[in-house]
Each structure stands twice: as structure tokens, then as C-alpha cells.
Amino acid sequence: MTMINNVTATWANETLAQAEGWQCREGAVYLSTESSGDDDRGTRLDKGQAWPFPSGVTVYYRSVGGSARISREQIA
């Protein structure tokens, strides 16, 4: 499992080499596969919620105000 600590309100991104599940561990985050659009685009995850992504996609993420933490784990 990989942790993304100190997620801020500025969009960041990661391109996935394998399918992964992303879980919000602290705070709340937006996750999207769209590189541009509204600041609230994509899926909102609150603490404890998760979302799967296939390999090869670029995931854009940011916190919903304040800081947040995301865990990433490879899935089959």
C-alpha cells in the first residue's frame, strides 16, 4: 500500500501502471480522470470511502478544503 500524505486543495496527478483502489483515509478528496473542468469535478470520497481505477489512467486528485490522506493499493 502506498500513502499520499498532505493532499492539498491544488490538483495533482498520478498515472497508474496497474489497476488500483484509492481510499480516502483522512479528510475528503475529489478524484477524477479528467485533466480539466470544475474544481468539484469527479467523485468525492469522504473518510473510509474508496474507488477503483484501471491501469493506464491518470488520476487527478485534490482535497476538499484542508488536508487529506489517500491510500493506494494494487487490485487484480
Q: What is the mean pLDDT of residues 7-17?
A: 96
For residue 76, pLDDT over 90 is answered with no
Tell me the CB-side half-sphere exposure of residue 31, using CA atoms within 13 A: 25
Number of domain units in the chain: 1
| Main-chain phi, psi angles of 8, to 5 degrees | -110, 180
Confidence of residue 38 (pLDDT cuts 50, 70, 90): confident
Residue 50 structural domain: 2-74
For a pLDDT cut of 70, what percent of the chain falls above it?
100
* CATH number assigned to the domain comprising residue 33: 2.60.120.10
Q: What is the pLDDT at residue 39? A: 84
For residue 40, pLDDT over 90 is answered with no
SS3 42: coil
